[in-house]
Amino acid sequence: MPQINACFVPMQDDGARLQFLGANRQVTGSRHYLDTGRCRVLVDCGQFQERPYLDRNWEPSPVPLESLDAVVLTHAHIDHCGLLPRLVRQGLRAPIYATEASAELVEIVLRDSAHIHEEDAAFKQKRHRKEGRTGPHPVVPLFTNDDVDRLMPLVRGVPYGRRFRLGQDLEAVFHDAGHILGSAIVEFSVRRPAGTDHVVFSGDLGQWDRPILRDPTLLEEADYVIMESTYGDREHTSREDVESQLAAAIVRTVGRGGNVVIPTFAIERAQELMYHLSRLFEQHRIPRVPVYLDSPMAIAVTRLFDRHRECYDEITQEIVNRGRQPLGFPSLRLVRTPEESKAINDSKMPAVIMATSGMCTAGRIKHHLVHNVGRPECMVLFTGFQVRGTLGRQILDGNPEVRIHGRMHRVRAEVAEIQGLSGHADRPALLRWLSALRRPPRGLFLVHGEESSSLALADQVRRQWNWNVLVPHYQQVVALNGT
């Protein structure tokens, strides 16, 4: 296993060093610092979303921004790109490389996030004045749209499969990750006097045979692998059963006159739900109730899907070629304005309400939960991973009361979960991806997973293949010495 150091140390030899700056023994805040000696790169720079780690979002950059040659994004989820505007405010001027779809998607994501931060700060200021209290940080937005304006000229879109140079001894190439639109595995080539080392960041890996997107690329060569482990300790429900679970939840809830409230990730999960709902309506398996997509960002992302059909798999390409719309149906209602969003809760007709954010950490979903979580005829239906400490996880874990907008609310609604829709590979899929390597890597580093999940996967890999595996701690440094 490579030498492990307790804190960051500058380069002193020809070996590369890697520092883990987020998503270490927890899920969000993905950020990794790769220093080859001649080139310094951040891989991702995401927000921390678990409550115990929120303070890290406000800390100064742990690496000197003026020394960075580039930032490379695996994809545009907020826990992978959401701190970039703050870095620009702190002095980041290096180019930011992403796939072509991600380069467009990151602007949608960050502008939506900036709007939410601005709205939440204003709401919290008002509440704090009313309650006569203060919080641990100034009640200001984490970043604003002005910060996003300064960020976007730095973003460079690169096609999948095209190598791009980052410095004297470092090149990179994007491969399909199958997670969300534009998501990528990043393969770095580090040139040394004795040869080239391949350092591979999986980003977030998707599942095989999901609708819409191509499957993850299998790589045969890697000297070091930094891999996600979100579901490293479990296996998903069979995907063939997803539509049956979704149909049963809707039929049961509508039958008792309630709403199905779905906390929705605006990227990929919303579009995949629309894909499945379209099929269920077409097959007459669910009643024709209104389906509200209450997320301007999800609406914008859906338009982006149509512009980047190069990311589609063969089945979805065929649907489009036949003149069908894979992401639409007659009862779909696209909700853009706050007034339209509020009007949903005035309706007495049962409905399906999809609103962001997917972990209930911010945005319009909180308002819909206020109106529905206390009603026993309604359902809160989770379709994605809920990080420990988030509001979504509290509801899913069965907390009898939850705090929303500063007030406690009894949870009387039915709470259900469909795991088969997850955008993350489960343990068998992660092992499948690793098994494509023709020889063991010198080091496998497991990140982006709760500690129990990462450690369980590490144990499995050691038992199965006897590889060197490390589950790094926050800010830990490893030397990639090429030996």
Average pLDDT of the residues in 132-147: 84
CATH class of residue range 239-421:
alpha beta
C-alpha–C-alpha distance, residues 250 and 75, integer Å? 31
C-alpha–C-alpha distance, residues 53 and 90, integer Å? 20
Exposure b/e, 398-435, CB count within 10 A at least 16 = b: eeeebebeeeebebebbbbbbbbbbbbbbbebbbebbe
pLDDT computed for residue 238 by the predictor:
63
pLDDT computed for residue 115 by the predictor:
86
Please give the CATH architecture assigned to the domain spanning 4-234+423-480. Answer: 4-Layer Sandwich (3.60)
Q: Facing residues of 414 across strands?
A: 379
> Which residue, chain included where needed, has tokens 């063969």?
314
pLDDT computed for residue 154 by the predictor:
98
Cα distances (Å, whole numbers) of residue 321 to 204, 310, 341: 29, 13, 34
Domain with CATH 3.40.50.10890 in the chain: 239-421
Q: What is the pLDDT of residues 384-440, one digit of tens each?
A: 888 888 999 999 999 999 999 989 999 999 999 987 787 899 999 999 999 999 999
Q: What is the pLDDT of residues 428-465, one digit of tens each?
A: 999 999 999 999 999 999 999 999 999 999 999 999 99
Q: What is the pLDDT of residues 39-87, one digit of tens each?
A: 999 999 999 998 899 999 999 999 999 999 999 999 999 999 999 999 9
Residue 3 has pLDDT above 80, yes or no: no
Among residues 191, 223, 172, the alpha carbon closest in space to that of 483 is found at: 223
Domain with CATH 3.60.15.10 in the chain: 4-234+423-480
C-alpha–C-alpha distance, residues 271 and 470, integer Å? 35
- What DSSP line would sit under 206-265, residue for residue? --TT-SSBPPPPPPS--SEEEEE-TBTT--PPPGGGHHHHHHHHHHHHHHTT--EEEE--
Higher pLDDT among residues 11 and 421, named by residue: 421
Among residues 369, 368, 429, 364, the alpha carbon closest in space to that of 395 is found at: 369
C-alpha–C-alpha distance, residues 446 and 465, integer Å? 15
Residue 4 has pLDDT above 60, yes or no: no
C-alpha–C-alpha distance, residues 478 and 480, integer Å? 6
pLDDT computed for residue 239 by the predictor:
55
Cα distance from N-terminal residue to C-terminal residue, the chain: 10
What value does the mean pLDDT of the chain take? Answer: 92
Residue 133's pLDDT band, with cuts at 50, 70 and 90, is confident
Residue 5's pLDDT band, with cuts at 50, 70 and 90, is very low
Q: Cα angle at 393 between 390 and 396, to 5 degrees?
A: 155
Least confident of 28-42, 132-146, 430-444: 132-146
